[in-house]
Amino acid sequence: DVKVTQSSRYLVKRTGEKVFLECVQDMDHENMFWYRQDPGLGLRLIYFSYDVKMKEKGDIPEGYSVSREKKERFSLILESASTNQTSMYLCASTPTGWRNQPQHFGDGTRLSIL
């Protein structure tokens, strides 16, 4: 089974802090994704990466950046956290191949910005 591990289940940070959310997958997948999940809005794509050091903006990249230095690890960075970034963050991965392969998700990080 695919295992996508997010480093923290719950995180509380203060406004203005730099926040790192980490995601690791153990299936040698090329593609990794970061989403945020808010009630009534579903999952919205922040960034994705299709290879080491490669990244593409998703639908809501503002206020976020990402880092992919190793194939198995994809980090989401909140450069200066704000209260409107309080949300559930989900990481997902999928192998290269058919572009419609299902995405496999981690358990999420519930982030609160005070």
Partner 1 sequence: GQQLNQSPQSMFIQEGEDVSMNCTSSSIFNTWLWYKQDPGEGPVLLIALYKAGELTSNGRLTAQFGITRKDSFLNISASIPSDVGIYFCAGHNLSGTYKYIFGTGTRLKVLA
11 near partner 1, judged by CB under 8 A:
no
What is the C-alpha separation between 96 and 30, in angstroms, rounded? 6
Q: Choose the stretch contacting partner 1; rule: CB under 8 A; options: 11-19, 33-41, 64-72, 75-83.
A: 33-41
**63-102 positions binding partner 1, by CB under 8 A:** 90, 94, 99-102
What is the C-alpha separation between 5 and 18, in angstroms, rounded? 21
3, 52, 107, 114: which one binds partner 1 (CB under 8 A):
107
Alpha carbon 8 to its chain's center? 12
75: region left, alpha or beta (phi > 0 left; psi from -120 to 50 alpha): beta
Q: Choose the stretch contacting partner 1; rule: CB under 8 A; options: 13-21, 34-42, 63-71, 79-87.
A: 34-42
What is the C-alpha separation between 94 and 83, in angstroms, rounded? 31
Q: Choose the stretch contacting partner 1; rule: CB under 8 A; options: 11-19, 35-43, 64-72, 76-84.
A: 35-43
